[in-house]
Every structure is written in C-alpha cells, then in structure tokens.
A and B are shown apart, each in its own frame.
Chain A
C-alpha cells in the first residue's frame, strides 16, 4: 500500500471527485454501519418524513454487521457484506447526501448513475479479513435500531482503514478493469 492516500470521513463531493477506481486509501474519521434491515428501516422512516438519527450529508455508510465486541474492545470482527442487496435503498440515500459507501461486489446501473450525478464513490474492503479490520475501529456506539442486533445503525470512529476505490464518481469500475486484464476467455 505504498501509494496509499489518506481520506477523512465525512467528505464532500470535491474530495470524492479526486478518487479513481483502483486507488488504495486509508480512511479515518466517522462512518456509519447499516446493512439490510437498517436500510429498510431508514427508507421506511424517510417515507414517513421522519428525521433519521444519522446526518447523511457527506456520510460514509459501511455495509457491515459486526461480531460482538469482547469486553475492553471497541469492536468485534467487522467486514463488508455484499452491496447489491442495499441497491434498492441506495438511490434515495445518495440524493440525501451520502458520498461514500463501503462494501463488496457489483452495484446496479441505477446506483452507478446516481453516484455520477451526486459525486459519490463506492469503496471496497476485502471480504473476510474481519479480524484485521476490527483493529482499525477506535470507537463504536449504536445510534438507532438496537433491536436489530448486528444489523443496528452504528457510528464508528475509524483510523487508517485500508480500502480500495471500486467505483469512482465517473463510473469507472475496478471490477471491470481487473478481470478484463487477467481473464483468458475473451469476454
């Protein structure tokens, strides 16, 4: 990770626009965890015109449901879940100011179009290195939906979380470029 750049969350469209697919970054600052059930709750709350407990302006959402923390640890093992399941809820969140998403796997065309329109980026954490990622979490608290257990909406303070830009705000995708270069099947 010698060419890593540092990024602080929350961030604005201008900072997001400097990132390119394939860039390795170290993310610090405040981010939020929300996955399947929390996205459903947030979208239902927004449909009822309720205010969320998370400030979406410039927010980075990590699609993650951590393992429970041991006593004295801020966090248990944590890593990305597959992002496509959040696609149906993501368009609205991007319209409301979300600038970064952390997950793994492809996104829908609709999500990529909205990322381009709203100047947002999709960041990748490697799946299945959850013990290592846990050590980049400095503090954690549940913001809402505590009854969802691992799926609760959490605020995390992170330091130097290693990520890769998977899809940038121009719509370039690392998932297209990498496999195209190493595949031997001519597709």
Chain B
C-alpha cells in the first residue's frame, strides 16, 4: 500500500490556499476579460477593468485578491490504495489551513460557536472538508476559499418533480435577482439538481469548481446552463450591481440521481473572485 505522510498533506494544503488567495485561476481571468469587452454600461465596464487590475496587483504576492479570504473549503479525493501516515488526515488539513492563513497574511474569518459567543477561532480553522474515497492510489486536493458575501445569498429548495426545468429556472433566476449587488457581481452561478437535502448543496459547490465557461457534458443541462446565463444577464444587475449587461460569467449545473418524490435544487453563488486551486500527491 502506498504511504503518504500527513505532513505532505499539510504542506500541499498550505501552498494551495496561499496560491488560491493571490492568483485568480486562468478560467476566471478569461471570462472577466470577455466580460469587460462585452459590457455595455461604461460604469460597469470600468468595474471590470478595476477587477482585472486588482487581480494583477494581487498576483505580485503582497495583497490577497480579497480581504475576505474565505472559509477554507477543501475537496479531497483519497485513493483507497493509499494510507496517510504519521498523523490524522483531518488534523493535517487543518494544520495546512492554519499555516497558510498565518504565513500568507490572510484574514481569519471563522467564529467557533455560531449563535451565542461567535468568537473568532483565530486561525481560520476548522476547514470544511469533503472527503471521497476513490479507486487507485492518487490523492487529489482542491481548495476553494469561499467568501461570505456570495455564500449568504445562496439558496436551496426542495421542489416538486412537477415543477420541471421551468421550476428550476425560476428558482435560480429568483435567487440571483434577490441577491442583487450583494454577492459582488459579476458572479459565477453553481447549481445542484437532484441528490438529497445535503447532497444537492455539495453538488452546487462542486459546480463552482468547473471552469466558468465550460458546459455540462449532458446536452440538456448544457442547454439549460446557456438559457440561464442569458436570462440572468437580462436582469441588468451588472458588475458591482451598478447596472449592466454582464451579471454572470458562467452558470454551471451538476446533477445526481434523486428520490422518486424529490427534486432538490441548490444555488451556490460565487463572486468574481471564484478562487480554486488543485494538486495531486
């Protein structure tokens, strides 16, 4: 059996969170440049220019892209032929988060108990860790620091199967309309359809990891993504909510089997700083 030291997981998580907070992924840069070209409102167009300039300054490595350096979301695919040695996997991930947010001068944004005390944990832990056991030996880690402005505007509905694609469309568009300027548009819209209550939310979050301009491999979902993108941009919210023709940079749908009585749908919005970064050990 292959062995991976826990320390290597820690070092990888540390490196990825610093990288993600200072360097916007190429797929996001490309859709922002396209948005800047296509935007009709001069004020919103200048917001696009500012976002691209901000990204350039952040990439120099002194100032993170956004002051909200996010909750530390980690997707970890663990090959079942591999064992983590010399430490516990969850602790190793949290130690990586702790080091990244300290060494990278990233904001620590996590409170421990959420209702009464709300005391900052001081090191941005615990991470939100999604582990899948997969065939083979590889250990794949994706980190996605997630800001709260767009997270707060996300929504989930347990629709009736009779609501159909139109029902999903209405819920997605209504969620984006209600969010207005709050999630820092231009946004990426992650949609989950199917699974169950908690599963659909994870699908929506995973949808945000797909390149913003990519399409679902299922033709009918791909068509729905294109239709949603057009209708969301017709809302006129625009960059920073100042009005404009480009509100969303991409709509990504992920789906999964569900119960005969269910049609869960989740909408996870992400700001233009749709940060994610991956590595394999």
Residues of A within 8 A of B (CB): 1, 22, 37, 64-70, 73, 76-79, 81-82, 84, 104-106, 124, 126-132, 134-135, 148-151, 162, 164, 174-175, 177-185
Contact = CB atoms under 8 A, between A and B. Distances in A.
Given A37-B118, A82-B182, A104-B149, A177 B67 contact: no
Nearest to B54: A129
A130 B181 contact: no
Contacts of A181: 41, 236, 243
Contacts of B62: 70, 73, 131
B67 A67 contact: yes
Contacts of A79: 66-68
Contacts, number: 165
Nearest to B63: A131
A178 B238 contact: yes
A105 B66 contact: no
Interface in B115-139: 118, 120, 122
Interface residues of B, number: 51
B41 A131 contact: no
Q: 7 shortest A-B CB distances, which residue pairs?
A: A178-B243, A183-B236, A131-B63, A127-B184, A182-B236, A129-B54, A184-B234
Contact of A128 (B57, B148, B272): B272
A182 B65 contact: no
A84 to B, nearest CB: 7
Interface of B: 40-41, 43-44, 46-47, 50-51, 53-54, 57-58, 62-69, 105-109, 118, 120, 122, 147-149, 152, 180-182, 184, 234-245, 271-273
Contacts of A76: 63-64, 67, 105, 107
24 contacts: A68-B106, A69-B105, A70-B105, A73-B62, A76-B67, A77-B63, A81-B68, A84-B182, A104-B184, A104-B240, A127-B184, A127-B240, A130-B54, A131-B54, A131-B64, A131-B65, A132-B54, A132-B57, A149-B120, A162-B50, A178-B243, A180-B236, A183-B235, A183-B243
